[in-house]
């Protein structure tokens, strides 16, 4: 069969299925509750797959898969944290309380949930602004991941891929709301699971089996070209199947930015938290844990393992490391491996896998941005609650967010996918996590304490990203223009320390201290918030 015809048939079938599911969601979306929390009656299987597919994007598969081609299998600690924190702790401890408290307060978005818990409109519109403006970075790197795959593997123009994907996702999210997002997520998550399972099995089979491939990868550190070995050793690299030297620049980047930044930051992701409010009881959340855990294990585990093993394949076939094959752009490692190692038919299947990953995450991101603009910013500032106007503004926000993401997709530098994802997760953790934890588990947390932690965490994380964290500070060039140095404090390890290490503990401390010094919330309000919570 003609290659172009084969690709066209696969894509058409996929888009037809996605369009049909989106149409079903549109037909079932009647009210603001339907548009924002799916009427609070989502099936646990759909909720779990939607959560997982939203969490795992092209940023995880292409971006972090490529990063594992640089840092090795030490990145699998992120898989462990994703399952422990992102699924088990999130669903069992955070999800149940969020679902019940959100129902008690009638909250439809994450900022509204926090706002009503602390009786503060400022929290709602400030959080909405952080989400609407900051999440654009995350959305743009998801777009970039898919477009880079299409460019490298299928020879599709990067610009065309970027724009076409953006238009398709924007259309079904604008009209279908969160039902459209979650129904298509479930379809896309199923496709992702199949595609990544095939990739894992095929990679190990091609490299001689699990034991042989892993041992050969371990031995590879001794036969890396001398110049690369010296450079890697100087930064703390110890091998493709081991952790970097403790305290080295390699270790700080891997642990603080990639593992902790995403592994902890997942708890405060607005697009994930809102999914807890779409089910009707705790039983649905319990049933979703197993599905979500298996999904995350296969998705992230496969990406990180294959990314690391790509070094073995490229060294055997080309005498180079993966990062050398792609001329230093880690975002191209997974696409280059698929192109070189896999048959063309699998490249087409994997394209649909990545398309599913991109669309599932991207749709959740822009839906969250749209509701942040319509519900959290517009309604709060105008004091016009509910009605068609809010949904209209939300849909307008979705379109604006997507346009900005596309523009950023053209201007962001190489090697940005994993870093951009980590930056967003760090920002949300610093801004929201202390407030969110205390909202659920500490009745003594006050409005002033929550606001203080929110503001301090947000601005401190931005300060660190702009002025001290090397990967972002160098790209922005502000410190370079003012001082001649890339960062404020060039001595190690500070330029490699992620903002989450600095800003999150300080936000927690500030929240606690201010809460202890300010007026406690009323007993009546606490009874309303915590009625039935924990049961």
How would residue 531 be classed by pLDDT, with cut points 50, 70 and 90? Answer: confident
Residue 352 CA to residue 13 CA, distance in Å, equals 10
Counted domains in the chain:
1
Q: Are 135 and 329 in contact (CB under 8 A)?
A: no
Torsional sign, CA 31, 34, 37, 41:
positive
Q: Say if residue 475 is exposed, middle or buried (CB neighbours under 10 Å; 0-12, 13-18, 19+).
A: middle
Nearest one of 172, 166, 169, 167 to 29, comparing CA atoms = 172
Q: Report residue 451 as tokens.
A: 């606001």
Secondary structure of 75-96 in the HEC alphabet?
HHHHHHHHHHHHHHHHHHHHHH
Total-model pTM: 0.83
Taking only the tens place, the pLDDT of each residue in 273-293 is: 888 887 777 787 888 888 888
Phi-psi region of 364 (alpha: psi -120 to 50; beta: other; left: phi over 0): alpha
Contacts of 238 (CB under 8 A, 6+ apart): 221, 244, 245
pLDDT at position 223 is 59
Give how far Cα 304 sits from Cα of 88, 296, 426, Å.
21, 12, 21
Contacts of 340 (CB under 8 A, 6+ apart): 313, 314, 317
pLDDT at position 228 is 44
How would residue 8 be classed by pLDDT, with cut points 50, 70 and 90? Answer: low
Percent with pLDDT over 70 in the chain? 87
Q: Strand (E) positions, 368-432?
A: none
Considering the domain boundaries, does residue 340 fall inside one?
yes
Q: Say if residue 77 is exposed, middle or buried (CB neighbours under 10 Å; 0-12, 13-18, 19+).
A: middle
Nearest one of 155, 141, 72 to 347, comparing CA atoms = 155
Of 37-46, 208-217, 221-230, the range with the highest mean pLDDT is 208-217
Considering the domain boundaries, does residue 166 fall inside one?
yes
Q: Are 292 and 52 in contact (CB under 8 A)?
A: yes
Q: In CATH, what number is assigned to the domain containing residue 54?
A: 1.20.1730.10
Answer whether residue 34 shows pLDDT above 70: no
Taking only the tens place, the pLDDT of each residue in 475-502 is: 777 888 888 888 888 887 888 888 888 9
Considering the domain boundaries, does residue 506 fall inside one?
no
Percent with pLDDT over 90 in the chain? 24
**Coil, strand, or helix at residue 522?**
coil
Range of 34's domain? 3-417
Q: Are 84 and 259 in contact (CB under 8 A)?
A: no
Considering the domain boundaries, does residue 107 fall inside one?
yes
More confident residue, 356 or 316: 316
Please state which of the ranges 272-276, 296-300, 357-361, 500-504 shows the lowest mean pLDDT: 357-361
Q: Report residue 283 as tokens.
A: 């039983």
Q: What is the mean pLDDT of residues 369-384?
A: 84
Phi-psi region of 400 (alpha: psi -120 to 50; beta: other; left: phi over 0): alpha
How would residue 439 be classed by pLDDT, with cut points 50, 70 and 90? Answer: very high
pLDDT at position 230 is 42
Considering the domain boundaries, does residue 470 fall inside one?
no
pLDDT at position 233 is 46
Considering the domain boundaries, does residue 433 fall inside one?
no
Q: What is the mean pLDDT of residues 302-310?
A: 94
How would residue 337 be classed by pLDDT, with cut points 50, 70 and 90? Answer: very high
Residue 252 CA to residue 259 CA, distance in Å, equals 10
Task: Give the chain's mean pLDDT.
Answer: 83
Residue 279 CA to residue 182 CA, distance in Å, equals 12
Considering the domain boundaries, does residue 451 fall inside one?
no
Considering the domain boundaries, does residue 427 fall inside one?
no
Distance between alpha carbon 268 and the CA centroid of its chain, in Å? Answer: 11
Please state which of the ranges 30-44, 253-267, 410-424, 510-524 shows the lowest mean pLDDT: 30-44
How would residue 507 be classed by pLDDT, with cut points 50, 70 and 90? Answer: very high
Answer whether residue 104 shows pLDDT above 50: yes
Q: Say if residue 126 is exposed, middle or buried (CB neighbours under 10 Å; 0-12, 13-18, 19+).
A: buried
**Could you identify the residue written with the tokens 């305290």?**
247
Residue 526 CA to residue 116 CA, distance in Å, equals 11
pLDDT at position 229 is 41
Contacts of 420 (CB under 8 A, 6+ apart): 59, 63, 137, 138, 140, 141, 412
How would residue 225 be classed by pLDDT, with cut points 50, 70 and 90? Answer: very low
Q: What is the mean pLDDT of residues 254-281?
A: 82
Question: Would you list the DSSP string of 203-267?
Answer: HHHHTT-HHHHHHHHHHGGGSS-HHHHHHHHHHT---TTSPPPTTSHHHHIIIIIIIIHHHHHGG
Q: Say if residue 325 is exposed, middle or buried (CB neighbours under 10 Å; 0-12, 13-18, 19+).
A: buried
């Amino acid at each position: 069969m003609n290659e172009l015809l084969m690709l066209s048939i696969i894509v058409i079938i996929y888009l037809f299925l996605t369009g049909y599911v989106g149409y079903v969601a549109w037909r079932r979306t009647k009210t603001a509750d339907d548009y924002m929390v799916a009427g609070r009656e989502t099936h646990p299987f759909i909720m779990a797959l939607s959560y997982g597919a939203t969490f795992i994007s092209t940023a995880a598969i292409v971006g972090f898969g490529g990063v594992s081609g640089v840092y090795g299998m030490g990145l699998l600690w992120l898989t462990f944290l994703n399952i422990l924190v992102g699924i088990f702790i999130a669903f069992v401890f955070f999800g149940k309380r969020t679902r019940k408290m959100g129902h008690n307060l009638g909250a439809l978005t994450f900022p509204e949930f926090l706002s009503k818990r602390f009786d503060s409109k400022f929290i709602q519109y400030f959080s909405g602004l952080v989400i609407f403006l900051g999440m654009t970075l995350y959305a743009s790197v998801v777009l970039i991941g898919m477009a880079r795959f299409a460019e490298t593997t299928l020879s599709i123009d990067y610009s065309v891929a970027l724009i076409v994907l953006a238009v398709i996702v924007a259309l079904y999210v604008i009209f279908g709301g969160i039902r459209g997002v979650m129904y298509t997520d479930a379809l896309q998550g199923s496709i992702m699971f199949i595609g990544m399972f095939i990739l894992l099995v095929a990679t190990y089979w091609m490299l001689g089996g699990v034991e042989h491939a892993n041992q050969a990868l371990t031995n590879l550190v001794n036969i890396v070209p001398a110049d690369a070995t010296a450079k890697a050793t100087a930064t703390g690299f110890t091998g493709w199947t081991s952790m970097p030297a403790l305290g080295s620049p390699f270790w700080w980047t891997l642990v603080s930015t990639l593992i902790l930044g995403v592994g902890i930051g997942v708890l405060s992701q607005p697009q994930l938290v809102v999914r807890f409010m779409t089910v009707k009881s705790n039983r649905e959340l319990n049933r979703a844990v197993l599905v979500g855990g298996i999904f995350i294990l296969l998705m992230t585990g496969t990406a990180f393992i294959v990314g690391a093993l790509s070094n073995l394949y490229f060294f055997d076939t080309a005498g180079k490391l993966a990062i050398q094959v792609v001329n230093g752009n880690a975002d191209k490692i997974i696409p280059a491996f698929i192109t070189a190692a896999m048959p063309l038919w699998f490249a087409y299947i994997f394209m649909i896998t990545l398309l599913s990953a991109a669309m599932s995450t991207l749709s959740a991101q822009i839906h969250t941005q749209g509701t942040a603009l319509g519900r959290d910013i517009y309604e709060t500032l105008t004091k016009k609650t509910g009605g068609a106007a809010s949904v209209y503004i939300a849909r307008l926000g979705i379109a604006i967010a997507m346009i900005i993401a596309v523009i950023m997709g053209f201007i962001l530098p190489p090697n940005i996918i994993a870093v951009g994802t980590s930056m967003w997760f760090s920002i949300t953790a610093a801004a929201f996590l202390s407030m969110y934890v205390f909202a659920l588990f500490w009745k003594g947390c006050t409005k002033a304490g929550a606001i203080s932690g929110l503001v301090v965490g947000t601005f401190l994380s931005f300060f660190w990203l702009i002025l001290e964290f090397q990967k972002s500070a160098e790209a922005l060039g502000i410190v370079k223009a003012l001082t001649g140095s890339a960062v404020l404090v060039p001595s190690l390890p500070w330029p490699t320390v992620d903002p989450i290490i600095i800003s999150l503990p300080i936000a927690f401390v500030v929240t606690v201290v201010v809460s202890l010094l300010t007026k406690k919330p009323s007993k009546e309000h606490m009874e309303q918030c915590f009625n039935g919570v924990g049961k």
